[in-house]
Amino acid sequence: MSDVFSSPFFGISLSILAFWAGEKVQKRFRLTVLNPLLIAIVLVTGILLLFDIPYEAYNEGGQIINMFLAPATACLAVSIYTRIRLLKENWLPILVGCTCGSLASMGSIFFMCRLFGLDEKVSLSLLSKSVTTPIAVSITERLDGVVPVTVVAVIITGTLGSILAPAFIRLFRVRDPLEAGLAIGACSHAVGTSKAIEIGETEGAMSGLAIGICGIVTVLFSLFIS
Task: Tell me how many degrees the CA angle 115-120-126 measures, rounded to the nearest 5.
Answer: 80
In this predicted model, what pLDDT tens digit does every residue of 46-79 receive, in sequence order?
998 988 888 888 888 777 877 777 677 677 677 7
Domain ranges of the chain: 2-67, 74-222
In this predicted model, what pLDDT tens digit does every residue of 192-220 receive, in sequence order?
888 888 888 888 889 888 888 898 899 99
- pLDDT grade, residue 226 (50/70/90)? low
- pLDDT grade, residue 43 (50/70/90)? very high
At residue 201, φ and ψ (nearest 5 deg) are -65, -40
Q: How far apart are CA 132 and CA 158, in angstroms?
A: 9
Q: How far apart are CA 19 and CA 5, in angstroms?
A: 19
Does the pLDDT of residue 1 top 70, yes or no?
A: no
- DSSP per-residue string spanning 118-146: --HHHHHHHTTTTS-HHHHHHHHHHTT--
What's the pLDDT at 21? Answer: 93
What pTM does this model have? 0.78
